[in-house]
Amino acid sequence: MTPKPSPRVQPEPGLPTRVTVYEVGPRDGLQAETDIIPGSVKAELCRRLYAAGSRDLEVTSFVPPTWIPQLADAAEVVAAVDVPDGARAVALVPNLRGLQRAIDAGVREVAVVVSATESFAKANLNTTRSGAIDRATEVIAAATADGIPVRGYVSMAFGDPWEGQVDTAAVISAATALHGAGARTIALGDTIGVATPGLTTRVVNETLAAGIPLPNVALHLHDTYGQSLANVHAALLLGVAEFDASVGGLGRCPYARGATGNLATEDLVWMLHGLGIETGLDLGALAATTEWLSRIRGIRAPSAVARALAAAGLDTTDTAQEAPTP
């Protein structure tokens, strides 16, 4: 028996007709791995993601190798990946030194991180909340002077493992600082995956009210508490059209070991295609990529769609794409 495709409907009025799925698997997904993954595997992962239709890919991070040994091969990975025409290959950079290393490696788009909370700034960025904003602002100025677009993350925008509920005003001030400095996209991060749709709606609405245009807003969600797709749905209803995801649900929550990590690309794409929203991605090729990487890593990926397709014996057919539209 071959299971049949995801039921599809026409796009609901008011929803975006096309969504950018910003793939963070090679960077955010793999950076938490304790076993060092060879650069050649990372480069092959990027190649497979581009082949699956990804055009918006965060390939690595130029943090000091002493901070995250897993990412010491950043330049090697960048050199090994051919970026298709019209596709992006973004690298995270923590500071001006990282920006220079990225540029030297041939990177032409970067991302920076700030924190909505003091606790995360201290624990993860080794600075204060305003220190992180200053550092990001420096990077944005230097990069844009060099014609390099910058994506800005606001971490802990919905909840913080130390502080609990996060002051939305602190999120908005961090977001507007990045936007004012010239960051192209502001990615609001639910780093610990605690948000529910009401809070998502409120934070997105306040971000828009602060003057950041809708096309410049993205959501970076983790699925730690299983809430990420419900939050995507809430944000779609507001018109948000860019969401971060990680193939197979790669990635972990460093504050809750054993818990689920990033929103899985396959689960997001299943929902978007079911809503009649275009992504340019091939669901079967994504699931096959997850299977390939799961075999190499010797683990089962947490993506529900990847598991269901594998359990049903499907491989590379993007059944969701072939469903009739009633």
Has 253 been annotated as catalytic?
A: yes
Among positions 226-285, residues that touch its own copies (CB under 8 A) are: 226-227, 229-230, 232-234, 253, 255-260, 264, 267, 270-271, 273-276
- Angstrom distances, CA of residue 205 to CA of 19, 72, 194, 212, 217: 19, 38, 18, 10, 11
CB-based contact 270:246 (threshold 8 Å): no
The minimum distance between CB 243 and its own copies, in angstroms, equals 12
195 binds its own copies (CB under 8 A): yes
Q: What is the DSSP string of 165-210?
A: SPPHHHHHHHHHHHHHHT-SEEEEEETT----HHHHHHHHHHHHHT
Closest to its own copies by CB, 299 vs 312, is 312
Query: Which residue's CB is nearer to its own copies, number 20 or number 224?
Result: 224
| Cβ nearer to its own copies, comparing 13 with 86 | 13
Q: For the packed helices 129-145 and 118-125, what is the interaxial angle rounded to 10 degrees?
A: 60
CB of 275 to its own copies, least distance (A): 5
Q: Distance (Å, rounded) from C-alpha 170 to C-alpha 130?
A: 11
The contact pattern for its own copies, residues 141-180, with x = CB under 8 A and - = no contact, is -----------------xxxxxxxxx-x------------
Contacts (CB under 8 A) with its own copies, residues 66-105:
none
Candidate ranges 41-49, 59-67, 83-91, 307-315; the one touching its own copies (CB under 8 A)? 307-315
Token pair 């507007």 is found at: 176
Q: Which of 185, 224, 246, 290 binds its own copies (CB under 8 A)?
A: 224
Q: What are phi and psi of 283, to 5 degrees?
A: -60, -40
Other Cβ atoms within 10 Å of 325 Cβ, number? 9
With a CB cutoff of 8 Å and minimum separation 6, the contacts of 320 are 5, 6, 8, 269, 270, 273, 274, 283
Q: How far apart are CA 212 and CA 294, in angstroms?
A: 39
Closer to its own copies by Cβ: residue 3 or 65: 3
From the candidates 143, 172, 253, 287, which is the catalytic residue? 253
Interface ranges with its own copies (CB under 8 A): 1, 3-12, 158-166, 168, 192-199, 201-202, 223-227, 229-230, 232-234, 253, 255-260, 264, 267, 270-271, 273-276, 303-305, 307-308, 310-312, 323-324, 326
Active site amino acids: 253
